[in-house]
A and B are shown apart, each in its own frame.
Chain A
């Protein structure tokens, strides 16, 4: 039984470079979420997918950010032209939506440092 896995766990990049994070959800989970967490704060919602459809995007998700879930399984989050303010932990989560609610399970996160 594997949980949500994310790759890479840590990434240091120079300002202006592009970075991509990958998330593999718990198998058979139909929803996948991306959150961002900065130091001393709780996670903040970025976007979520139901199967391959991206159903909601937060205003936090600027046009430099793009997320995909091409086959309804794994997802990628790409940040273009990174800025120092993008430094954060990016958390992926998944859930199986059912009649009894929706428990969201998180991965270990991908730490991004923009220098």
Chain B
């Protein structure tokens, strides 16, 4: 069975600090997708990134960067120079493909990030 662990529950930083959100996953499939979503207080889950299991290249998008390491089954998310607007709950999620189960996502419990001015 697949599982996503986000060991950090709450993180508080001061604006402009860098912060890394950890994600560790478990799956028996060789092909899968990993995701990060942001959930602001409004409740909507905002898609941030999707990465497939064959692409271990790190990705940078503005202040956001993602580090995917299959060897440690981790897909960590770093926000550089954090801003108050980054305050939200961040979810890592896994979708398997081989079993035809790319229909659904397995989420971690989320990390609440608070960025103080």
Q: Which residues of A are at the interface with B, using a C-beta cutoff of 8 A?
A: 3, 31, 33, 40-45, 48, 50, 55-56, 89, 91, 93, 97, 101-109, 111
> Can you name the residue of chain A whose Cβ is closest to the Cβ of B4?
A42
Contacts of A108 in B (CB 8 A): 42-44
Binds A, one of B12-20, B64-72, B77-85, B103-111: B103-111
Majority secondary structure of chain A interface residues (helix, strand, loop or mixed): strand
Contact in complex: A55, B45 (CB < 8 Å): no
Shortest Cβ distance from residue B94 to the other chain A in the assembled complex, whole angstroms? 11
Q: A42-B109, A43-B107 are in contact. Are A106 and B37 (CB under 8 A)?
A: yes
Task: How many A-B residue pairs have C-beta atoms within 8 angstroms? Tell me.
Answer: 62
- Answer yes or no: B27 CB below 8 A from chain A CBs: no
Partner of A56, one of B93, B104, B107, B109: B104
Shortest Cβ distance from residue B82 to the other chain A in the assembled complex, whole angstroms? 22
Q: Which of B35-57 contact A (CB under 8 A)?
A: 35, 37, 42-47, 50, 52
A-B contact pairs, 28 of them (CB 8 A): A3-B44, A31-B103, A33-B103, A33-B104, A40-B110, A42-B108, A42-B109, A42-B110, A43-B91, A43-B105, A45-B104, A45-B106, A48-B103, A101-B52, A101-B97, A102-B33, A102-B102, A104-B35, A104-B47, A104-B105, A105-B47, A106-B44, A106-B46, A106-B47, A107-B44, A108-B42, A108-B43, A111-B43
